[in-house]
Amino acid sequence: MKILVCISKTPDTTAKIAFTDNNSKFAEAGVQFIVNPYDEWYALVRALELKEAGLATTVSLVTVGLPDADPIIRKALAIGGDDAIRINSDNDDSFYIASQIAAVAKDGGYELVLTGKETIDYNGSSIGGMVAELIDAPYISLAIKLDITGTTATAVREIEGGEETNEITLPVVISCQKGMAEQRIPNMKGIMGARTKPLVVKEPVAVESLTSIVSFDLPPAKAGVKLVSPEHPEELVRLLHEEAKVF
Amino acid sequence: MSVLIFADQTDGQIKKASFEAICYGTAIATQLGMDAEAVVLGTISKEELVALGKYGAKKVHHITDSNLDHFDAQAYTKVIAGIVTATGSKVIVFSNGLTGKAVAPRLSARLKAGLVTGAIALPDTSNGFVVKKSVFSGKAFANVSINTDVKIISLNQNSFPVATTDGAAEVIDATANVDGPKVKITATNKITGEVPLSEAELVVSGGRGLKGPENWALVTELAKLLGAATACSRPVADAHWRPHHEHVGQTGGAVAPNLYFAIGISGAIQHLAGVNRSKVIVVINKDPEAPFFKAADYGIVGDAFEVMPKIIEAVKKLKGVA
C-alpha cells in the first residue's frame, strides 16, 4: 500500500500576525515558516509508523507551493518519507489545491491519503474532504487513531461528546489530529538523507479557483483586563453575573 | 431560489449549532430576497422539523433512509447535492462542526461551489459575495470572495445570535437514492454525564498552576455549579492529570464559549489560539506577568487555592445552593 501525505507550509505558531499591501497579504518578513503541525506531528508520523510496521510500502509527500516551500518539504523528508512532489503554484483557493492533490493521488495510485486536521494559517479543514470527493473515495475527518489490516482501514474519529470507530475498505482519505501519533524530531541521519531524496516539481493541472482572499483584518484590541482584588473574589462573580451576564 | 441550511441531528434531536445556522441562513435569505429552507437527513419526528420554522426555515426537506441513520460523508454529500439541484439553492449553509467539516468540502468539490469555512459574520453582498472568516487560529480574519454561482458557507459556532418567532415550517418528504455506506461504524463511545466541550457555553479550565490532579475539585466543582464543561492546558493533558479530550489550544481542540474561566494557566500563545474566540475570558493566576491577562476581560492576580473556594462559595450563594 502506498501512502500520500499532504504537507503545508505555515507560519510558526508564535509568529506575529500582520499584513501588508493594503492588508491583502500576510507579512512574511522576519517570519519563520514550519511544516503545518497537524500535517507533521499526526499525518506524517502515523504514515511512517505504518510503514515501519510493514503495512505500507512507501510514504510520499505532496505540497502545493512555490520554491520557497522546498525547505519545508525537505524538513518533512528529514523526519521520514521516501519522496516528495511539489506542485509549483501559490494559489490559496482550497478547491484549486485539493484538485492538484487529487491529480497526484490518482496518478500515483495511492490507497491512503493523509492530511492534518487543518492548517494553522487558513484553518480551512477542507482539503481532505475535497480530495476524497474528487477521487470518489470515503473520507474520515478528524481521526485520532488509524490502523490498517490488509485492505481495511480502522479509524477512530471524534464525534460530539465522544469517539466512533469506523472500518473502511481502501482507498480512503483521512484527516488526522491529536492522538494519532507523537511528534518526532529529525535526527542528523534523517537531515543528511533528506538532501538526496527525490523531490519532483510538477506544474499544476488547469483548474479554476472558486474563491479568492480580498483582505485581512486584525481583531479589535481587547479593552483591557478588569482586575478584581484577591481579597474580594465574590466581586468577580457579581461582575460576571450582572455586567458580563454570562451566568 | 433559496438559501438551503443543513440541519444536523443525532438521535432525533436537531443540534443546537444548527439552530444558529438556520438563523444565519435566514438572515442571508432576507439579504438576498430569497427563502430559507432546511434539509434534514435520517429518522426524526415531524414536530422537530416543523419547529425549525421558529428559526426562520420556510420549508424543511426531509429524507429518511436506513442508510442515512449512520453518518457517511459521501452518502450525505450526494443526497444534499440532489436537494440543492432540485431546489435551485444558491447558498448552502452548514454549521462548522464535525459533520459540517466532513460534508461541506465534499459538497463544494462535487458542485464546484466555492466554500468558506469558519464564517463569523453575514456576507457582504454590496460588491460580490464576501464572507469574513476566522484565520490564523483566531488571531486574524480574512474576507474571502466566493466567485461561483452557488456558494457554500460553514458558520463557526457561537458567532451568530439565535432568535425565534412563532413560525412553522412546511415539511416536504423528499426521496433519494442513497448509496449503502462505505464506512462501517463498529463502535461508539460517548462520554456521559459531562457537558461536551465542543457544545459548551461555559468552560472552566485548569492549568499547571493547580499543581496536581488531586486539586481538580476547584475546577470541577465550579463547572458543575455553572453547568460548564471542563478543559485543561496542554501540560496538564500531557502529564495525564486530565484526559486528552479536555486539552484546548493550538494542537488540542478550539473552543468559543460565552465564558472561558482559566485557573492557573499562564496563557502561552498556543493555548490562546484555542480559546481566543471566547466571548468573555476570566483569568485567575498568581503571576501578574502571565500573558493570559493581556487576552482576558476579567482577572484576579492571586493564589487559586485561596481565591477559588471563595468564588465557589459566591456562585453557590448566587445559585441558591446550600
Asked whether the beta carbons of residue A142 and residue B101 sit closer than 8 angstroms, the reply is yes
Rounded to whole angstroms, how far apart are CA atoms B243 and A170? 31
Residue with cell 474566540: B277
ipTM: 0.95
Beta bridge partners of A35: A9
Phi then psi for residue B219, to 5 deg, are -85, -50
Asked whether the beta carbons of residue A141 and residue B101 sit closer than 8 angstroms, the reply is yes
Q: Does B146 touch chain A (CB under 8 A)?
A: yes
Helix, strand, or coil (residue B103): helix
Of B104, B184, B311, the CB nearest to A233: B311
Q: Does A203 touch chain B (CB under 8 A)?
A: no
Give the residue from chain B lying closest to A179, CA to CA: B244
Are residues B154 and B93 in contact, defined by beta-carbon separation less than 8 angstroms?
yes
Asked whether the beta carbons of residue B116 and residue A211 sit closer than 8 angstroms, the reply is yes
Query: Which residues in chain A have Cβ-Cβ distances shorter than 8 Å to B280?
Result: 240, 244, 246
pLDDT at B253: 84
Query: Which residues in chain A have Cβ-Cβ distances shorter than 8 Å to B145?
Result: 211-214
B194/chain A closest Cα distance in angstroms: 8
Of B199, B273, B301, the CB nearest to A227: B301
Query: Which residues in chain B have Cβ-Cβ distances shorter than 8 Å to A158?
Result: 98
- The 3-class SS string of chain A reads CEEEEECCEEECCCCCCCEECCCCEECCCCCCEEECHHHHHHHHHHHHHHHHCCCCCEEEEEEEECHHHHHHHHHHHHHCCCEEEEEECCCCCHHHHHHHHHHHHHHHCCCEEEEECCCCCCCCCCHHHHHHHHCCCCEEEEEEEEEEECCEEEEEEEECCEEEEEEEECCEEEEECCCCCCCCCCCHHHHHHHCCCCEEEECCCCCCCCEEEEEEECCCCCCCCEECCCCCHHHHHHHHHHCCCCC
Are residues B45 and B13 in contact, defined by beta-carbon separation less than 8 angstroms?
no
Asked whether the beta carbons of residue A214 and residue B144 sit closer than 8 angstroms, the reply is yes
User: For testing the chain B interface, which of A214, A239, A242, A243 should be mutated: the one with the most B CBs within 10 Å?
Assistant: A214
Asked whether the beta carbons of residue A217 and residue B298 sit closer than 8 angstroms, the reply is no
Query: Which residues in chain A have Cβ-Cβ distances shorter than 8 Å to B135?
Result: 121-123, 216
Instruction: Report DSSP state, residue B277.
Output: T
What is the sign of the dihedral through the CA atoms of A119, A123, A129 and A131? negative
Give B 180-209 residues with CB within 8 A of chain A.
Answer: 182-191, 194, 196, 198-199, 202
Query: Which residues in chain B have Cβ-Cβ distances shorter than 8 Å to A98?
Result: 105, 109
Give B 23-62 residues with CB within 8 A of chain A.
Answer: none
Q: Does A159 touch chain B (CB under 8 A)?
A: yes
Q: Does A221 touch chain B (CB under 8 A)?
A: no
Rounded to whole angstroms, how far apart are CA atoms A215 and A237? 40
As a whole number, the mean pLDDT across chain A is 96
Q: Is the pLDDT of residue A8 over 90?
A: yes
Of B98, B252, B308, the CB nearest to A142: B98
Q: Which residues of chain B have pLDDT under 50?
A: none
Q: Is the pLDDT of residue A35 over 90?
A: yes
Give the residue from chain A lying closest to B195, CA to CA: A161
Q: Does A226 touch chain B (CB under 8 A)?
A: yes
Instruction: Report DSSP state, residue B139.
Output: T
pLDDT at A177: 93
pLDDT at B241: 96
What pLDDT, in 10s, does the model give residues A78-130?
999 999 999 999 999 999 999 999 999 999 999 999 999 999 999 999 999 99
What pLDDT, in 10s, does the model give residues A189-245?
999 999 999 999 999 999 999 999 999 999 888 889 999 999 999 999 999 999 999
Query: Which residues in chain B have Cβ-Cβ distances shorter than 8 Å to A233?
Result: 300, 302, 307-308, 310-311, 314
Asked whether the beta carbons of residue A244 and residue B299 sit closer than 8 angstroms, the reply is no
Helix, strand, or coil (residue B286): coil
Query: Which residues in chain A have Cβ-Cβ distances shorter than 8 Å to B278?
Result: none
Size of interface A-B (CB pairs under 8 A): 266
Are residues B230 and A165 in contact, defined by beta-carbon separation less than 8 angstroms?
no
Of B103, B137, B280, the CB nearest to A120: B137
Asked whether the beta carbons of residue A162 and residue B104 sit closer than 8 angstroms, the reply is no
